[in-house]
Chain A
């Protein structure tokens, strides 16, 4: 675990200010959110809950996909692969860096909401949800970066192709309860749905969530396990192709 933390520390120093991280992790969700709210009269607690879910999603999936292609290009990966750490440890390190980034940036909409008079009704559930979702989305980001390429732009294009549709089917802009039956079925396949639902529960109150809290948390854990196992397997296969 100490070795994974060392990798996370290295990632934080190198990747937090990289262009793709800032563009896809901070600017994209900000502008997407502004495009949605400008000119519409929606309750602030609804908006903040949606913004929070989207922020965790975009920030946590912005660091982990950048690391592998960048280190392939800069030829750091071979040195890392020769050191006494497993691929799982390397990926956990990348996830930790991504999680710290996701959790830290997620405080911005929370503080913005509090400043605008929003009350956090269930703070512990909210913190648990944000941390769990950050892990889940960071692991998801690793799946994008398992493509054996040294081009960050290729990975970011692939991740954008998947991330943007998810934003629209996960109850951020339209509550899940108001979706059609097939819309609800589609939403249940997205991990973003469950953190958004938890944010609504934590900020808007007990009647605003669509799924039970236990189901939201369980779903995030299940997605995390699936993404992590898939990421390890895919990276094990793609590593030799990157060298």
Chain B
């Protein structure tokens, strides 16, 4: 039995805004084992990135964690001081942000920017040691050593994103959070980056949390997925199982709206309506207004959101788990 590296329990977080509280993360629990890839999928605004930020305790100042715990390697992260957190970030967890390739400092060479992080975490290393390590990392992600001496504007988007991955790996983390790392890239570059992430992950035995709205990418990258809707996880389980027999009608809708180049060309179904505003308190099932196959119990909104077991290690929200009919 592999031990859980990351254990998130009943995590809830809201943003305090002038218009009221925005419940971005609602009672979320999941675990990531070492070496496992965990996918987080959902529409924009469903709280994926908020979860990622909260995991690293990088959430903005107006956010309030109302309850829950985040345990990394058995150590509670919520409530740690900034100094203690600095040790955890990069050493244990690092993150590849959405559009991270645009986060490079334009006037500092790539190699120096990576060394800056390494100096912080490994003050005892000599410069040469750091350079050697960077060269090794570059080789892993398919970059030439000479890239260290280049400025960000000299690199293409794909190269910058590879360098970001090298940067994320520079302090030997056990867990990498990749938040839409390929969104701004075209398909061929995306494919190369995905390949690189997978290779590195296997090589170093890392755990991965992969966040995306693209269910096809999630299908290829992950062992286990959680589908998020309006701040809650509505379905969670092994990727193959969830794709084979989705139990929540939102998962079903996501699968039905994804075009594929394999198999019969099928009529895709769109999901009408918009996700609910997270400012208003939602009673009952948050998906019921958009659900294509609602039952009477969803409509009267009496039933509470709660995950129930629907298969081996496979859980879905109790309301919608009854709505889906799989052909």
A-B complex is real: no
Q: Please list the residues of chain A having a beta carbon within 8 angstroms of any beta carbon in chain B.
A: none
